[in-house]
Amino acid sequence: MAPSRRAIIVGHANGVHDPAIAVVDDDVLVAEAFERHTQCKRSHDNLLLFYSGRALKATLREYGGWPVRHADVVAISSWRFGEGAGEAAAAPTGEAAADHAITGGSWPRDRIFDHQLVWTLGGYPPYHISPAAAETLGLDLDIRLTRRSGVPHHLAHAATAVYTSPFDRCVVMVLDGAGEDASTSFYLFHDNQFEFLHRCGLSHSLGILYATVTSLCGFNPIEGEEWKVMGLAAYGRPCDPIYQYFRERIEVRGLDVRLDDELVIGSPGAFRGLGAATGGFRSPSDPIEHAADLAHNFQRAFEDTVVALASEAAALRLSPNLAYAGGCALNSAANGKIIGQSGFERLHVPSAPADDGNALGVALYEKYAVRGEPRSAELLTPFLGSRVDAGTLDRVRGLGGGDWREYSTDEALCDRIAALLAAGAIVGWVQGRAEFGPRALGGRSILAAPFPAGMKDRINERVKFREEYRPLAPAILHEHGPMYFEHYQESPYMERTLVVRSEMRDRIPAAVHRDGSARLQTVMADWNPRFHRLLASFHRLTGVPVLVNTSYNVAGKPIVHTIEDAVTVFHTTGLDVLVIDRWVLQKTGVG
């Protein structure tokens, strides 16, 4: 008797950068960026054809067996640049979408992903193979894409924001560089529908403007170095000519944003007035200080614009809740000002708000908006990636080269690691499933005490090999958040920056940025029990409920993906301790 069939929804983000895959069925969900598998930062789309099969195979292992056979597959691809989305921005639903069977012929690039789905699920039958040859070879051809659906880029962002949130009604704001014909979009989500409110075109893109200023600061936006502008901003000084240059040329009209022609690359006289205000732009070889004032004042203007757009949306009084996604939603400094200044009461930013998150968004759109399946009211976990592989860990430990010790309980493990952290150790912390998105949240983290102040420089210089102005995030026990932060808000994904209370800055100096702010991570036991226990153990030992947390990688590389990656970074950097599950490896002389 053939096994019962179950629906598998495969979400696929195939934009210009940050491709990713998500797999959803009745009760299992996995999402992962391809960069984790390739260990190539951002994994631009030309790598898609070579690595999507590998990512899919690893992802489907989360179902508890490999391969998955006798399954219906729905492949959902995100946007293709240059295609309009239309005002309603609605994806086709069941009856309206065409059925597709893999029969061969000449296929566009995104259809090659369809082939790989079938090959991977069915055991690699080439698309041109005949049924008779398949029978001779023992291959399973009873796998085909029953439906293929495209979800517009901004609607995919909106779905990611909404369906990872606890909201059943909210305003949705999407700000990014480009998505089909839009750079800014607003929706009202209610009754499981996305009601279109407004769209702003590509020539007025805040995301492209931020990328352009990143380049003017001497950084590379193609490599995603907008992070550097946000970090460097705290080291700059207020300069009214620079700030006013941007404020006078960025106008918010209701839900619309308008950029002056001078802020558009390729326009006559683009940025001609800005060069005079800054004394010229920084080249990559110039001292970093030369770009600090530009970063500071542009960041202020960007924050003002984001808050103004959110305020206009809140003024419509459609909902007190805002779900926010798109690449601009990674700007935690702007995010931290939305609740206090816009009129919204609650804000949700997903763990992967940028283009990688669209793989999850299109899969969830299919599941909830198209199929109408019931949603949970719970906040969706960010721990959706690959698991720690116990067999690989056993093999690596068996090779020797270190004294591994296993702790029998979480309490014993966390007490030991807390003591090492309190003594100044820098710890690589690899636990369970990886986080989906660019920030480590206690699954693939580098941890340290938030004191002394020199701990930040030590991590940046000896472990991360990156610029000294780059900040570290404080992971804090939720119940202590109001004691340490002004106007405290929950921030489960390090998605917002808040001001550290002045009387607490000397207690956690390594976690406080130059301007007195910090991009915090709220930690609760329900969200991450073992990480919460570690923080609680450190708090009991030191009186401080905070650890600094940064991603387990070195500059220019993605977060580690395999145990081999984690061990390699441990042995080639200034990490003192490596924790994988309950196994601990210490370098000689530590502890």
pLDDT at residue 296 in the model: 97
Q: What integer is the mean pLDDT of 147-164?
A: 87
Count of CB atoms situated within 10 Å of the CB of 88: 11
Backbone angles phi, psi at 376, to 5 degrees: -85, 150
Average pLDDT over residues 497-520: 97
Chain centre to alpha carbon of residue 499: 23
Which backbone phi and psi does 23 adopt, to 5 degrees? Answer: -130, 130
The pLDDT of residue 30: 83
Please give the average per-residue pLDDT across 242-246, as a whole number: 97
Q: How many CA atoms lie within 13 A of 426 on its CB side?
A: 26
Which element (helix H / strand E) includes 390?
A: helix 390-398
Which residues share a beta bridge with 30? 23
Mean pLDDT to the nearest integer, 213-223:
91
Residues 92-116, mean pLDDT to the nearest whole number: 38
- What mean pLDDT is predicted for residues 407-425? 98
DSSP 485: B
Given this model, what pLDDT does residue 21 score?
82
* Position 364 pLDDT exceeds 80: yes
In the chain, the percentage of residues whose pLDDT exceeds 90 is 61
Pair 235, 296: CB distance under 8 Å: yes
Residue type, 246: F
Give the contacts of 384 (CB within 8 A, at least 6 positions apart). 22, 29, 30, 31, 32, 360, 433, 434, 435, 436
For residue 523, give the nearest of 337, 425, 382 by alpha carbon.
382
Q: In this structure, is the dihedral angle defined by the CA atoms of residues 558, 563, 565 and 568, taken in order, positive or negative? A: positive
Closest CA to 346 of 496, 478, 518: 496
Render pLDDT for 35-78 as a digit per residue (tens, 0 to 9): 777 777 656 544 444 455 555 666 566 555 444 444 455 556 54
- 430-450 in b/e form (b: 16+ CB < 10 A) is bbbbbbbbbbbbbbbbbbbbb
DSSP 8-state symbol, 87: S
Where does the pLDDT of residue 19 fall: very low under 50, low under 70, confident under 90, or very high at 90 and above? confident
Letter for the amino acid at 88? A
Please state, in angstroms and as integers, the Cα–Cα distance from residue 151 to each residue in 78, 165, 361, 370, following that order. Answer: 5, 19, 9, 11
Tokens at residue 51, please?
């690595």
pLDDT band at 17 (very low <50, low <70, confident <90, very high): confident
**CA dist., res. 330 & res. 313, Å (int):** 19
| Range 355-384 burial, b when 16+ CB lie within 10 A, else e | bbbbbbbbbbbbbbbbeeeebeeebbbbbb
Tell me 435's DSSP state: P
User: Average of pLDDT values for 285-313?
Assistant: 96
Ramachandran bin of 439, using left for φ above 0, alpha for ψ from -120 to 50, beta for the remaining angles: beta
Rounded to whole angstroms, the Cα distance separating 157 from 171 reads 13
The pLDDT of residue 334 is 98
Provide mean pLDDT across the span 357-378: 89
Confirm if 119 and 52 have CB atoms less than 8 A apart.
no
For the segment 173-193, the average pLDDT, to the nearest whole number, is 93
Give one DSSP letter per residue of 220-255, joined into a string. Answer: -GGGTTHHHHHHHGGGS---HHHHHHHHTTEEEETT
Do residues 139 and 119 lie in contact, with contact meaning Cβ atoms separated by under 8 Å?
no
Q: How far is CA 481 from the centre of its chain?
A: 23
pLDDT per residue as tens digits for the range 441-490? 999 999 999 999 999 999 999 999 999 999 999 999 999 999 999 999 99
- For residue 32, what pLDDT is reported? 87
Report whether 218 contacts 281 (CB < 8 A). Answer: yes
Q: For position 146, what pLDDT does the model report?
A: 58
**Helices 48-60/109-122 angle, 10° precision:** 30
Give the per-residue pLDDT at 65.
47
Least confident span in 66-75, 260-269, 386-395 = 66-75
Q: What is the pLDDT of residues 327-349, one digit of tens each?
A: 999 999 999 999 999 999 999 99
Is 372 a residue whose pLDDT tops 60?
Answer: yes
pLDDT digits (tens, 9 = 90+) for 463-473: 999 999 999 99
Domains assigned to the chain: 6-154 (3.30.420), 165-349 (3.30.420.40), 390-586 (3.90.870.20)
Task: Give the bridge partners for 518, in sequence order.
Answer: 498
Confidence grade of residue 2 (pLDDT, cut at 50, 70, 90): very low
Place of tokens 């935690």: 332
> How does the average pLDDT of the chain come out, rounded?
84
Indicate if the pLDDT at residue 141 is higher than 80: no
Residues in the chain, how many? Answer: 591
Q: Cα–Cα distance between 553 and 566 in angstroms, integer? A: 8
**% residues pLDDT > 70 (the chain):** 80
Q: Give the model's pLDDT for residue 61.
A: 61
| Contact between residue 206 and residue 328 where contact means Cβ atoms under 8 Å apart | yes
Residue 589: predicted pLDDT: 82
Residue 147's pLDDT band, with cuts at 50, 70 and 90, is: low
Q: Are 160 and 360 in contact (CB under 8 A)?
A: yes
Contact criterion met (CB below 8 Å) for 519 and 471: yes
